[in-house]
Amino acid sequence: MRLPEEPDIPPQINIVPMIDVIFALLTFFIMSSLYLTRSAGLPVNLPKAATAQTQSQSQIVVTINQQGQLSLNRQPAQLGDLQTRIRALVGNNPSTLVVVNADERVSHGQVIAVMDQLRSIPGIKLAIAAQRPAK
């Protein structure tokens, strides 16, 4: 006894598992890119400011820690050679942002002295780091 032949079913590509794999890869790359952000400052307790804004351009970070020690892009620095080192970092980029990242317990006079040194460099933009208060 012979069985009737079954009709040939055309081959199909099931794309649902492929979409799942693509979304898993996309999720992995998004999550891993969140951890690639670079922290250029030293750990200090920043003052709180409700109007703080995020800056997204080339930055040079000048940090003054709680003891009053000065750092330029995480490298120890002295107030006297701050101008020459920043001029070397700025080079031909006039729109460089220099961020003063001072601990909230540093004396106001020391922050003003650093800002005075920075303001004498032509073409740079000056910003003061602050932290938004927790709501």
Q: Residue holding tokens 């030293």? A: 42
Q: Domain coordinates of the chain in residue numbers? A: 59-128
- Give residue-wise pLDDT tens across range 100-110: 888 888 888 88
The answer to whether the pTM exceeds 0.85 is no
Low-confidence ranges of the chain (pLDDT < 50): none
**Assigned fold of 59-128:** Nucleotidyltransferase; domain 5 (3.30.420)
pLDDT for 1? 59
Note the pLDDT of residue 102: 85
Which residues, 6+ apart, have CB-to-CB distance to 12 below 8 Å?
none
Can you give the pLDDT at residue 52? 62
Using the CB atoms, write b or e for 27-58: b if 16+ within 10 Å: eeeeeeeeeeeeeebeebebbeeeebeeeeee
CA distance 37 to 101: 17
Residue 65: per-residue pLDDT: 86
